C-alpha cells in the first residue's frame, strides 16, 4: 500500500478546466443560412441575438489524480460533479483549460451502452464489447457478471428484456458489466446508491480490487457512507468551483457542516 502511494503516478490531470453549456432560446432566424454563418463568424454576438444562454457549469477546476486512488466527488445538486466526470471521460468539450488522462477513462453506464429492448444476456455481451472486451473474455466472465449483479436471485431475469427491469436492477447490471474489466480510470456516477446493502458491499470490495490493479476510481455519490467506505480522498464541488480537495473525513466534515447551515 505504502509502496504504491510513493510512486505517485498521475492518471488524470485537470488544469484550470472551464465547462460551459449553451442553452438555446427562440431567437428569430436561427435556422437560416445567414444566421448559421453569423454563428461561425461572430459567435458571441450571434448567440446573444438567438437567445442563447450560457451556463458556466465548471469553473477553473484543477486537480491531479494518481494510480491506486479512489476519489469521491461531492456537492449539492447542480454543482457540476456529473459534468466534470463526462469531461474526464472525453464526452464533453472544455471551454478552456486542459484535461490529460493516462489510459482510457470509462464512465459507468455510458461505455456500457445497454439497450432496453434486448435481454439482460444480450446486454452483457453488448456492454462488454463496448468496453473493449473480446467475446471470449465476456463468455468467460458472463456467469460472474450475472451472479455479481444479483438480478437472478428472484427469477430468471437475465433472459428478459431490460425494459422489464427496475431502475435498481438495471443499475446493478451496468455496474457488474463495468466491474468485470480492469480499468485505467473508472468513473462511477451514483452506482452504489442503488441496490441493497449486500450489493453495495460487493461493489465496494470490487472497487478496492480495481485499485489494487493500479487503476483510479472516481465516485460521484450523495451517499456519504458510500464515500467514507470507498474513498480516501474527496473533491468537493460547489456551484462549479472546487471548494475543497483533501482526506475524506476532513472534506466530508466541512461539507456536512455546509449542508446543515
Give Cβ neighbours of residue 162 (< 8 Å, ≥ 6 apart): 114, 115, 116, 117, 118, 119, 120, 123, 170, 173
- With cell 435481454, the residue in question is 119
Show pLDDT as tens, one digit a residue, over the chain (261 residues): 444 445 689 999 999 999 998 877 644 445 555 555 555 566 555 555 556 788 899 999 999 999 999 999 999 988 999 899 999 999 899 999 999 998 888 887 544 567 889 999 999 999 888 888 899 999 999 999 999 999 988 789 999 999 999 888 888 898 899 888 888 898 888 766 666 778 888 888 888 888 777 689 999 988 888 899 889 999 999 999 999 999 999 999 999 999 987
Whether the full predicted model's pTM is greater than 0.85, yes or no, is no
Determine contact, residues 94/117, Cβ cutoff 8 Å.
no
Compute the CA torsion angle 87, 91, 92, 98 (nearest 10 deg): 50
Ordered domains of the chain (ranges, CATH):
2-13+66-260 (3.40.50.300)
Residue 79 to residue 143: CA distance in whole angstroms: 38
CA torsion 165-168-172-178 (nearest 10°) is: 90
Amino acid at each position: 500500500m505504502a509502496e504504491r502511494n510513493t510512486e505517485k503516478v498521475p492518471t488524470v490531470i485537470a488544469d484550470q478546466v472551464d465547462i460551459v453549456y449553451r442553452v438555446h432560446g427562440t431567437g428569430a432566424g436561427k435556422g437560416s443560412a445567414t444566421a448559421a454563418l453569423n454563428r461561425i463568424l461572430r459567435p458571441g454576438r450571434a448567440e446573444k441575438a438567438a437567445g442563447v444562454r450560457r451556463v458556466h457549469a465548471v469553473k477553473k477546476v484543477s486537480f491531479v489524480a494518481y494510480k491506486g486512488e479512489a476519489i469521491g466527488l461531492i456537492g449539492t445538486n447542480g454543482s457540476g460533479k456529473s459534468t466534470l466526470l463526462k469531461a474526464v471521460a472525453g464526452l464533453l468539450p472544455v471551454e478552456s483549460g486542459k484535461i490529460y488522462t493516462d489510459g482510457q477513462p470509462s464512465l459507468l453506464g455510458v461505455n456500457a451502452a445497454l439497450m432496453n429492448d434486448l435481454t439482460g444476456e444480450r446486454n452483457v455481451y453488448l456492454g462488454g464489447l463496448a468496453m473493449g472486451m473480446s467475446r471470449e473474455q465476456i463468455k468467460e466472465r458472463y456467469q460472474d457478471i450475472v451472479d455479481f449483479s444479483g438480478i437472478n436471485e428472484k427469477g430468471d431475469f437475465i433472459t428478459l428484456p431490460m425494459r422489464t427491469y427496475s431502475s435498481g436492477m438495471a443499475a446493478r447490471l451496468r455496474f457488474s458489466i463495468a466491474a468485470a474489466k480492469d480499468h485505467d480510470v473508472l468513473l462511477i456516477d451514483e452506482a452504489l446508491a442503488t441496490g441493497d446493502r449486500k450489493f453495495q458491499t460487493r461493489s465496494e470490495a470490487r472497487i478496492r480490487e480495481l485499485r489494487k490493479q493500479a487503476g483510479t476510481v472516481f465516485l460521484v455519490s450523495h451517499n456519504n457512507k458510500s464515500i467514507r467506505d470507498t474513498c480516501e480522498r474527496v473533491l468537493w464541488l460547489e456551484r462549479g468551483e472546487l471548494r475543497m480537495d483533501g482526506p475524506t473525513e476532513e472534506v466530508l466534515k466541512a461539507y456536512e457542516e455546509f449542508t446543515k447551515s
